[in-house]
Amino acid sequence: MTIEINGSGTITGLTAGGLPDGSIATDDIANNAVTAGKLATTLDLSGKTVTLANGSVTAGQLATTLDLTGKTVTLPSGTGGKILQVVQGTKTDTSSFSVTGQGQFNDVLTTNITPVAASSDILVMWYTSVGTAVIGQRGTCRVLRDTTAIGIADSAGSRILGSHGSQSVSDAINRTVHYSQNYLDTPTYTLTDTLSYKLQVCHEQSAGTVYINREGTDTDANTHFRGATYMILMEVAG
């Protein structure tokens, strides 16, 4: 077909795709000349960097959740020490266990956290109160991250290792011992791993029955009290 340029500013005789690649530059396209109907339904940005103007994306255009499963989140320089998430576990009821062997640790409360960034630290904070059925019984606590004890003393002969030195209910079974600890843990993990932190209590074998969140007698009167146990886990950016 003959290509004709007429006096009206139009060209006839061109077939679709008839111009060589690179023939039309950005400045050759008038503003607003390309409508949405002329665009492809998908845009392949593989290997490309997209820069958005400030204010071009509003909160209402964002998804309510962001799926980071299997992804690595790289934080900008200077963000170390920031709190990325907080998880809390609580135990508000009472429980008890019988001490059948020296050095026996019993589970009190477990709290889980799934880190959202690589190389984070976990700040572990917990509190519990313990009573016994026998006066003057020594004890301690510890936390396990999965199966590893954290925040405990160095090995020292036959001594039982925990987060506290020996604590005892020394004068009456209507008293409780209060344990608490703040410990910055540095776990090794991969993203999507869930870290399990378990609070445990240990009392010497002669303590008999050990009670959590209550005293030994637990008399139903307004001069006696009960408590709550909690554990707070904070993911801290590395």
pLDDT of 45? 77
Q: Which of 150, 159, 153, 95 is nearest to 125 (CA)?
A: 150
- pTM of the entire structure? 0.68
Query: What Cα–Cα distance (Å) separates residue 222 from each residue in 17, 172, 216, 218?
Result: 90, 18, 16, 11
Token pair of 36, please? 């949405």
* Fold (CATH) for 83-236: Jelly Rolls (2.60.120)
The residues spanned by each domain of the chain are 83-236
Q: What is the pLDDT of residue 97?
A: 93
pLDDT, average across residues 61-74: 73
* Average pLDDT taken over every residue of the chain: 86
Task: Give the integer Cα–Cα distance in Å for 73 and 118.
Answer: 7
Indicate the DSSP class of residue 10: -
